[in-house]
Protein backbone atom coordinates (compact mmCIF):
# COMPACT_ATOMS: atom_id res chain seq x y z
CA UNK A 1 0.00 0.00 0.00
CA UNK A 2 1.51 3.34 -1.06
CA UNK A 3 2.20 6.14 1.40
CA UNK A 4 0.22 9.37 1.33
CA UNK A 5 2.99 11.95 0.99
CA UNK A 6 3.08 15.73 1.20
CA UNK A 7 6.19 16.87 -0.68
CA UNK A 8 7.85 20.16 0.29
CA UNK A 9 10.68 21.62 -1.82
CA UNK A 10 11.62 24.56 -4.00
CA UNK A 11 14.82 24.46 -6.15
CA UNK A 12 16.08 22.12 -8.87
CA UNK A 13 17.81 20.02 -6.21
CA UNK A 14 14.41 18.84 -4.91
CA UNK A 15 12.84 18.00 -8.27
CA UNK A 16 14.61 14.66 -8.67
CA UNK A 17 13.29 13.48 -5.30
CA UNK A 18 9.72 14.50 -6.15
CA UNK A 19 9.92 12.58 -9.42
CA UNK A 20 11.47 9.53 -7.73
CA UNK A 21 8.70 9.33 -5.13
CA UNK A 22 6.05 9.77 -7.81
CA UNK A 23 7.64 7.06 -9.97
CA UNK A 24 7.79 4.71 -6.96
CA UNK A 25 3.99 4.76 -6.85
CA UNK A 26 3.45 6.75 -3.67
CA UNK A 27 0.41 9.02 -3.55
CA UNK A 28 1.63 12.62 -3.59
CA UNK A 29 -1.43 14.31 -2.07
CA UNK A 30 0.04 17.82 -2.12
CA UNK A 31 3.20 19.69 -3.07
CA UNK A 32 4.35 22.74 -1.12
CA UNK A 33 6.86 25.21 -2.56
CA UNK A 34 7.99 28.78 -2.06
CA UNK A 35 5.70 31.35 -3.75
CA UNK A 36 6.51 32.55 -7.28
CA UNK A 37 9.21 35.23 -7.19
CA UNK A 38 9.95 38.21 -9.45
CA UNK A 39 12.47 37.36 -12.15
CA UNK A 40 13.63 38.51 -15.54
CA UNK A 41 15.75 41.51 -16.42
CA UNK A 42 13.27 43.96 -14.92
CA UNK A 43 11.90 41.68 -12.22
CA UNK A 44 8.36 42.18 -13.47
CA UNK A 45 7.50 38.55 -14.18
CA UNK A 46 6.53 36.15 -11.39
CA UNK A 47 8.26 32.81 -11.93
CA UNK A 48 7.19 29.54 -10.32
CA UNK A 49 9.88 27.49 -8.57
CA UNK A 50 11.34 24.41 -10.29
CA UNK A 51 9.41 22.15 -7.88
CA UNK A 52 6.20 24.05 -8.57
CA UNK A 53 6.65 23.60 -12.32
CA UNK A 54 7.55 19.91 -11.97
CA UNK A 55 4.51 19.27 -9.77
CA UNK A 56 2.18 20.88 -12.27
CA UNK A 57 3.70 18.76 -15.05
CA UNK A 58 2.79 15.70 -12.96
CA UNK A 59 -0.74 17.10 -12.37
CA UNK A 60 -0.14 17.39 -8.62
CA UNK A 61 -1.85 20.07 -6.49
CA UNK A 62 0.55 22.84 -5.42
CA UNK A 63 0.35 25.16 -2.40
CA UNK A 64 2.60 28.18 -1.87
CA UNK A 65 2.01 29.74 1.57
CA UNK A 66 4.45 32.47 2.56
CA UNK A 67 4.78 30.75 5.94
CA UNK A 68 2.62 28.70 8.30
CA UNK A 69 1.71 31.40 10.78
CA UNK A 70 -1.81 31.55 9.37
CA UNK A 71 -4.14 29.08 11.06
CA UNK A 72 -5.92 28.50 7.77
CA UNK A 73 -2.66 27.30 6.16
CA UNK A 74 -1.98 24.95 9.09
CA UNK A 75 -5.48 23.53 8.92
CA UNK A 76 -5.17 22.99 5.16
CA UNK A 77 -1.88 21.15 5.68
CA UNK A 78 -3.47 18.87 8.29
CA UNK A 79 -6.45 18.23 6.02
CA UNK A 80 -4.25 16.32 3.57
CA UNK A 81 -4.16 13.50 6.17
CA UNK A 82 -0.68 12.53 5.01
CA UNK A 83 1.26 9.57 6.31
CA UNK A 84 4.50 11.55 5.97
CA UNK A 85 5.91 14.82 4.68
CA UNK A 86 9.11 14.70 2.64
CA UNK A 87 11.11 17.94 2.78
CA UNK A 88 14.01 18.75 0.44
CA UNK A 89 15.40 22.31 0.32
CA UNK A 90 11.99 23.82 1.03
CA UNK A 91 13.37 27.08 2.40
CA UNK A 92 11.37 27.44 5.62
CA UNK A 93 11.77 26.21 9.18
CA UNK A 94 8.59 24.26 9.88
CA UNK A 95 6.61 25.01 13.06
CA UNK A 96 5.81 22.18 15.45
CA UNK A 97 2.19 22.02 14.28
CA UNK A 98 3.36 21.11 10.77
CA UNK A 99 6.00 18.66 12.02
CA UNK A 100 3.35 16.85 14.05
CA UNK A 101 0.60 16.78 11.42
CA UNK A 102 1.62 13.73 9.31
CA UNK A 103 1.13 10.30 10.84
CA UNK A 104 4.84 9.40 10.70
CA UNK A 105 6.21 12.96 10.91
CA UNK A 106 8.42 14.84 8.46
CA UNK A 107 11.59 13.50 6.80
CA UNK A 108 14.25 15.75 5.32
CA UNK A 109 16.83 14.99 2.65
CA UNK A 110 19.90 17.04 3.65
CA UNK A 111 23.04 17.37 1.50
CA UNK A 112 25.78 16.77 4.06
CA UNK A 113 27.09 14.22 6.53
CA UNK A 114 25.37 15.53 9.63
CA UNK A 115 26.14 17.00 12.09
CA UNK A 116 28.72 18.58 9.78
CA UNK A 117 27.28 21.40 7.68
CA UNK A 118 23.85 21.92 9.13
CA UNK A 119 22.07 24.86 7.53
CA UNK A 120 21.58 26.67 4.24
CA UNK A 121 24.66 26.06 2.07
CA UNK A 122 26.15 22.62 2.85
CA UNK A 123 27.35 21.89 -0.70
CA UNK A 124 29.29 25.13 -1.11
CA UNK A 125 30.70 25.08 2.42
CA UNK A 126 31.97 21.53 2.12
CA UNK A 127 33.97 22.38 -1.00
CA UNK A 128 35.21 25.72 0.34
CA UNK A 129 36.47 23.94 3.46
CA UNK A 130 38.40 21.43 1.34
CA UNK A 131 36.32 18.40 2.38
CA UNK A 132 37.03 15.28 0.34
CA UNK A 133 33.73 13.59 1.09
CA UNK A 134 30.12 14.56 1.73
CA UNK A 135 26.77 12.88 1.21
CA UNK A 136 23.03 12.96 1.72
CA UNK A 137 21.20 11.97 4.87
CA UNK A 138 17.53 11.26 5.37
CA UNK A 139 16.65 12.70 8.77
CA UNK A 140 13.44 12.80 10.79
CA UNK A 141 12.82 16.46 11.45
CA UNK A 142 12.44 18.08 14.84
CA UNK A 143 12.18 21.74 15.88
CA UNK A 144 15.95 22.32 15.57
CA UNK A 145 17.95 23.24 12.45
CA UNK A 146 18.93 19.88 10.91
CA UNK A 147 19.21 18.29 14.37
CA UNK A 148 16.88 15.30 14.09
CA UNK A 149 17.81 11.59 14.15
CA UNK A 150 19.23 10.11 10.95
CA UNK A 151 17.61 7.22 9.10
CA UNK A 152 19.75 6.56 6.02
CA UNK A 153 23.03 7.87 4.57
CA UNK A 154 24.76 7.81 1.20
CA UNK A 155 28.34 9.06 0.89
CA UNK A 156 29.66 10.92 -2.14
CA UNK A 157 33.36 11.72 -2.78
CA UNK A 158 34.38 15.29 -3.63
CA UNK A 159 36.97 15.36 -6.40
CA UNK A 160 39.93 17.71 -6.11
CA UNK A 161 38.60 19.97 -8.90
CA UNK A 162 34.86 19.30 -8.48
CA UNK A 163 32.68 22.41 -8.50
CA UNK A 164 29.59 23.09 -6.42
CA UNK A 165 27.47 22.66 -9.54
CA UNK A 166 28.93 19.23 -10.26
CA UNK A 167 28.57 18.12 -6.64
CA UNK A 168 25.01 19.48 -6.56
CA UNK A 169 24.04 17.20 -9.46
CA UNK A 170 25.71 14.14 -7.93
CA UNK A 171 24.02 14.68 -4.57
CA UNK A 172 20.67 15.43 -6.22
CA UNK A 173 20.55 12.03 -7.87
CA UNK A 174 21.94 10.18 -4.86
CA UNK A 175 19.48 11.91 -2.56
CA UNK A 176 16.48 11.09 -4.74
CA UNK A 177 17.30 7.38 -4.71
CA UNK A 178 17.99 7.45 -0.97
CA UNK A 179 14.66 9.12 -0.12
CA UNK A 180 12.75 6.68 -2.30
CA UNK A 181 14.43 3.83 -0.41
CA UNK A 182 13.67 5.50 2.92
CA UNK A 183 9.97 5.83 2.12
CA UNK A 184 9.77 2.19 1.01
CA UNK A 185 11.35 1.17 4.30
CA UNK A 186 9.08 3.47 6.28
CA UNK A 187 6.08 1.90 4.60
CA UNK A 188 7.44 -1.54 5.56
CA UNK A 189 8.02 -0.45 9.17
CA UNK A 190 11.77 -0.96 8.80
CA UNK A 191 13.30 2.53 8.89
CA UNK A 192 15.88 2.93 11.68
CA UNK A 193 16.55 6.22 13.46
CA UNK A 194 19.90 7.05 15.06
CA UNK A 195 20.52 10.28 17.03
CA UNK A 196 23.17 12.58 15.60
CA UNK A 197 26.48 12.73 17.51
CA UNK A 198 27.02 15.77 19.67
CA UNK A 199 30.57 16.30 18.39
CA UNK A 200 31.52 17.67 14.97
CA UNK A 201 28.72 20.19 14.56
CA UNK A 202 29.39 22.83 11.88
CA UNK A 203 26.95 25.32 10.39
CA UNK A 204 26.78 26.05 6.67
CA UNK A 205 25.85 29.72 6.67
CA UNK A 206 24.17 31.17 3.60
CA UNK A 207 26.69 32.45 1.06
CA UNK A 208 27.25 36.18 1.36
CA UNK A 209 27.98 38.12 -1.83
CA UNK A 210 31.02 39.65 -0.15
CA UNK A 211 32.63 36.20 -0.03
CA UNK A 212 32.69 35.96 -3.82
CA UNK A 213 35.58 38.38 -4.37
CA UNK A 214 38.81 36.40 -4.73
CA UNK A 215 41.60 37.25 -2.32
CA UNK A 216 44.78 36.14 -4.07
CA UNK A 217 46.74 36.80 -0.87
CA UNK A 218 45.27 33.54 0.47
CA UNK A 219 47.08 30.23 -0.10
CA UNK A 220 46.50 28.78 -3.55
CA UNK A 221 44.53 25.80 -2.24
CA UNK A 222 42.12 28.08 -0.38
CA UNK A 223 41.67 30.25 -3.48
CA UNK A 224 41.02 27.15 -5.61
CA UNK A 225 38.50 25.80 -3.10
CA UNK A 226 36.65 29.09 -2.99
CA UNK A 227 36.45 29.25 -6.78
CA UNK A 228 35.01 25.76 -7.16
CA UNK A 229 32.77 26.14 -4.10
CA UNK A 230 31.12 29.20 -5.64
CA UNK A 231 30.85 27.85 -9.19
CA UNK A 232 28.60 28.34 -11.06
CA UNK A 233 26.67 30.56 -8.65
CA UNK A 234 27.27 33.21 -7.46
CA UNK A 235 30.73 32.80 -8.99
CA UNK A 236 34.03 33.89 -7.46
CA UNK A 237 35.40 36.94 -9.22
CA UNK A 238 38.31 39.32 -9.67
CA UNK A 239 38.64 42.63 -11.47
CA UNK A 240 40.74 43.41 -14.52
CA UNK A 241 42.52 46.75 -14.51
CA UNK A 242 41.18 49.17 -17.10
CA UNK A 243 41.66 52.82 -18.11
CA UNK A 244 38.08 53.92 -17.43
CA UNK A 245 36.77 51.36 -14.93
CA UNK A 246 37.69 47.91 -13.73
CA UNK A 247 35.96 44.94 -15.35
CA UNK A 248 34.62 42.10 -13.24
CA UNK A 249 35.40 38.53 -14.33
CA UNK A 250 34.00 35.36 -12.78
CA UNK A 251 36.22 32.30 -12.44
CA UNK A 252 34.20 29.13 -12.97
CA UNK A 253 37.07 26.64 -12.99
CA UNK A 254 40.69 26.63 -11.87
CA UNK A 255 43.47 24.21 -11.10
CA UNK A 256 46.31 24.19 -8.61
CA UNK A 257 49.86 24.67 -9.85
CA UNK A 258 52.62 23.02 -7.85
CA UNK A 259 55.15 25.73 -8.64
CA UNK A 260 54.97 29.46 -9.07
CA UNK A 261 55.66 32.45 -6.87
CA UNK A 262 55.20 36.19 -7.10
CA UNK A 263 53.18 39.06 -5.73
CA UNK A 264 49.64 37.82 -5.04
CA UNK A 265 47.35 38.42 -8.02
CA UNK A 266 50.20 38.70 -10.54
CA UNK A 267 50.07 36.76 -13.82
CA UNK A 268 53.11 34.46 -13.90
CA UNK A 269 52.79 33.58 -17.60
CA UNK A 270 50.61 34.31 -20.61
CA UNK A 271 48.35 31.28 -19.99
CA UNK A 272 46.37 32.39 -16.92
CA UNK A 273 48.63 31.25 -14.06
CA UNK A 274 48.27 33.56 -11.05
CA UNK A 275 50.45 33.88 -7.96
CA UNK A 276 48.68 33.49 -4.61
CA UNK A 277 49.84 34.06 -1.04
CA UNK A 278 51.59 30.73 -1.32
CA UNK A 279 51.62 28.73 -4.54
CA UNK A 280 49.63 29.51 -7.67
CA UNK A 281 46.48 28.61 -9.56
CA UNK A 282 45.72 28.49 -13.25
CA UNK A 283 42.45 29.88 -14.57
CA UNK A 284 40.53 27.36 -16.68
CA UNK A 285 37.06 28.80 -17.35
CA UNK A 286 36.00 32.46 -17.11
CA UNK A 287 32.96 34.64 -17.68
CA UNK A 288 32.72 38.39 -18.11
CA UNK A 289 29.63 40.25 -16.90
CA UNK A 290 26.92 39.75 -19.51
CA UNK A 291 29.07 37.29 -21.48
CA UNK A 292 29.08 33.54 -21.88
CA UNK A 293 31.45 31.17 -20.06
CA UNK A 294 34.68 30.61 -21.99
CA UNK A 295 37.54 28.18 -21.60
CA UNK A 296 40.82 29.97 -20.86
CA UNK A 297 42.28 29.64 -24.37
CA UNK A 298 39.19 31.19 -25.97
CA UNK A 299 39.01 33.90 -23.29
CA UNK A 300 42.66 34.88 -23.83
CA UNK A 301 42.12 35.25 -27.57
CA UNK A 302 39.68 38.06 -26.87
CA UNK A 303 41.17 39.40 -23.62
CA UNK A 304 44.92 38.80 -23.31
CA UNK A 305 46.30 38.53 -19.78
CA UNK A 306 50.03 39.06 -20.31
CA UNK A 307 52.63 38.03 -17.80
CA UNK A 308 53.06 40.65 -15.10
CA UNK A 309 49.43 41.87 -15.16
CA UNK A 310 48.05 42.40 -11.65
CA UNK A 311 44.53 41.24 -10.89
CA UNK A 312 42.61 42.47 -7.88
According to the annotation, is 50 in a ligand binding site?
no
The reply, when asked if residue 112 is annotated as ligand binding, is yes
Is 113 marked as binding a ligand? yes
Whether the CB-CB separation of 129 and 200 falls below 8 Å is answered with no
| Residue 267 is assigned to a ligand binding site | no
Q: Which residues are annotated as a binding site for (6S)-5,6,7,8-tetrahydrofolate?
A: 112-115
Q: Which residues are annotated as a binding site?
A: 112-115
Amino acid sequence: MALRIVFMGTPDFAVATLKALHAAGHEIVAVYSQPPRPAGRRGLELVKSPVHQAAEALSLPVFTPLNFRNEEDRARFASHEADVAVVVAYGLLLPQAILDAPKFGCYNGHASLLPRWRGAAPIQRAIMAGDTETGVMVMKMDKGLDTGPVALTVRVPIGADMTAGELHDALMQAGAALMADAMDRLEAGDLPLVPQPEDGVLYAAKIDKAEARIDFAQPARDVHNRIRGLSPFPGAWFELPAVDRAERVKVLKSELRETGAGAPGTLLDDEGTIACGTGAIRLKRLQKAGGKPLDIAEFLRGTPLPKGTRLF
